[in-house]
Amino acid sequence: MKGKFSLKTILLEVVKFAILAFIVANVVSYIRKPDLAQKSLPDLEVTLLDGSQKKLTDYKGKPLVLYFWGSWCPICKMSSPVISDLAKEYQVLTIVVNSGSSDEIKSFMQTHHLSFPVVNDGKGTLAQKFHVQTFPTTFIFSENGINTFTDVGYTSKWSLKLKLWLSRFMD
């Protein structure tokens, strides 16, 4: 019968749409990504929510996911669980921007079952240093501390894993 769709036709259309959506999302992310003044991880010292001090350059030796987000950001609320899951396998440092006190952020993380290292960038100073204007923004640095990928907006776990793997060959 004409006009009737088969399962194969529907699946093919879904795959085509998914590929197109992936391409469009990556093009938009590329256009909106911040332009870093330098491609290497800056020698900054940050204070984590737990009170510990960390130098960004201490993360060299393994790829690093540097994730800028806000508790007020709807897309971040979808992306943060992906980052939290990724933090179980990879080096992750997150910077929460303009999201309240450390206690408010800890409460937000507990409510949303998030578990990753966090720096409270209450005034947006670090976000400015990295030229971040859109949230979430995710930087991937290679094991040598070179920025190999930058994503703006939602990013899937598999996309991040692929980029972490590719970062080994990019610097």
Q: How many residues does the chain have?
A: 171
Q: Is residue 21 in some structural domain? A: no
Q: Is residue 15 in some structural domain? A: no
The per-residue pLDDT for 50 is 94
The per-residue pLDDT for 1 is 47
Q: Is residue 53 in some structural domain? A: yes
pLDDT in tens, 78-135: 999 999 999 999 999 999 999 999 999 999 999 999 999 999 999 999 999 999 999 9
**Which residue segment(s) compose the domain that 70 sits in?**
33-167
Task: Of 57, 66, 72, 55, give the one whose Cα is nearest residue 122.
Answer: 72
Q: Is residue 6 in some structural domain? A: no
User: How many structural domains is the chain composed of?
Assistant: 1
Q: Is residue 20 in some structural domain? A: no
Helix (H, G, I), strand (E, B) or coil at 40: strand
Q: Is residue 114 in some structural domain? A: yes
The per-residue pLDDT for 162 is 94
CATH code for position 117? 3.40.30.10
Q: Is residue 60 in some structural domain? A: yes
Q: Is residue 27 in some structural domain? A: no
